[in-house]
Chains A and B, each alone.
Chain A
């Protein structure tokens, strides 16, 4: 569950858990988060929470609502967003950040279905209804989220990596009409060769660069050894022979 941390001049005033589907912010006492300051409108803004996602909406306040320095009307809150209302700051913290988030990430597919409305489902329905009317009908379909118990998967919390190795690599042609030319391997996939004759692909992966045979009767040759159908990891200064053209693979320093 996400929460808001209310502060002024760097001083933390309180923490508010976003348990309700609508959390109102304003100067008047009936608001969920009351900020008694003249710069804050009576009904200033509202945070609509749909399951794990929260949306901030300005309710036509006199002085406006600012998120991360930008005035907004409606905003999909992301972890560590700073909401500013006059002198006051509200920091949005998605609880996910503390391990639980990763569990949530790992949650398996679940079904939302009509049926006994639980708090969350009702929340979702109301929240969506607060959005454009078109949403209202779809919201009716939302229901018992517990229809299928989500079981967090086991296993190490392997976050998606940057998906690319740190080192940049280049291919230099050693023979053929374009000898001397260099080709930077910046794309996740780089194909080499002549379509219909012989094609190989170099894939850029977190573990490094790999060459794989794609099509053609003959396989690429690396350092004098022909490859098989498997991907082959490329090392610095490997020499590739493909369709009669030699090229050298090297990492950029």
Chain B
């Protein structure tokens, strides 16, 4: 399966102005329609190890699997969508790897990572996320957040303890309720979304959305949409100008053209010739 030419991807990652290590990790493959972003946590370099393991395991395993077959349709046995199954299995594999490394090596004890993955296929994308790394969408003039954080603040917002405006003032920003590699089993939140030509998707670590308001991110995407690379650099720069208190990572994905599943077309041709 290849989506070559359907997606344009630009990314940028930076340690920020305060931290010496970059514990974020990003990876992408435009041909396979795959983007992965992870924000690691844990002492010394354990955060980097966790996020690096997450992106490496997920991207290399999925690349191999997608080489064989496209993530289309529904699995016959389980009745689950193939794309969901692929993502869930590879996330579970990454979780196990990180968890076992953390258990077996004392310097990695307690390490973990947030994760956001998007897999593009058949004019849609499947998004899986864990923790507070986010995916946003710019469609036309509308800029909106697609994922909902797994964080204490989001839970407080959901239950009405605080408002989203108050949340920006909160001191409890850095607490996630789910992460990869902390427990033997982790449940990723997985959803499907339709994509349209011209959509721009932004994957980012909390280093961006904590430092730059959604309005300003949206403005940057709209203004600089013709140059994704510059846009990615500008977002990182803005986060750093505002203090850059955390590692900042962004991946931008633009949908250049439709990319319907080839199977559908082949099937149509078959019926034509019959």
Contact = CB atoms under 8 A, between A and B. Distances in A.
Contact of A160 (B19, B131, B242): B242
Interface residues of B, number: 56
B224 A134 contact: no
A35 B194 CA distance: 59
Contacts of A110: 41, 174-176
A201 B223 contact: yes
Contacts of B23: 108
B177 A214 contact: no
A155 B110 contact: no
B71 interface: no
Contact of A163 (B132, B182, B183, B241): B241
B252 to A, nearest CB: 14
B159 A111 contact: no
Interface of B: 17-20, 23, 39, 41-43, 47, 110-112, 114, 131-132, 152, 155-156, 158-162, 166, 169-172, 174-179, 182-183, 206, 211, 216, 219-220, 223-224, 226-227, 230, 234, 237-238, 241-246
A93 to B, nearest CB: 13
A76 B162 contact: yes
B175 A131 contact: no
A222 interface: no
A109 B206 contact: yes
A188 B42 contact: no
Contact of A111 (B160, B177, B226, B244): B177
Contact of B177 (A52, A112, A154, A189): A112
Chain A interface size range: 35 or more
A122 B43 CA distance: 25
A161 B111 CA distance: 32
Given A50-B156, A161-B242, A106 B18 contact: yes
A50 B157 CA distance: 13
Contact of A51 (B155, B175, B220, B241): B175
A92 B66 CA distance: 57
Nearest to B211: A160
A138 B226 contact: no
Q: Secondary structure of the B side of the interface?
A: loop
Contacts of A142: 152, 177
A16 B47 CA distance: 38
B166 A108 contact: no
A214 B245 CA distance: 28
Nearest to A151: B43
Contact of B171 (A94, A195, A212): A94
Contacts of A206: 241
A134 B41 contact: no
A161 B95 CA distance: 38
9 closest A-B pairs by CB:
A52-B171, A135-B159, A160-B243, A138-B155, A155-B18, A215-B226, A160-B242, A76-B166, A189-B223
23 contacts: A51-B172, A53-B162, A108-B47, A109-B41, A109-B114, A109-B174, A110-B174, A111-B179, A112-B175, A112-B176, A113-B182, A135-B155, A135-B156, A145-B175, A147-B110, A148-B112, A150-B174, A158-B18, A159-B243, A160-B245, A188-B220, A203-B234, A215-B226
A78 interface: yes
A237 interface: no
B182 A201 contact: no
B227 A215 contact: yes
Contacts of A153: 18-19, 245
Contacts of A173: none
Nearest to B110: A148
A214 B47 CA distance: 35
A155 B155 contact: no
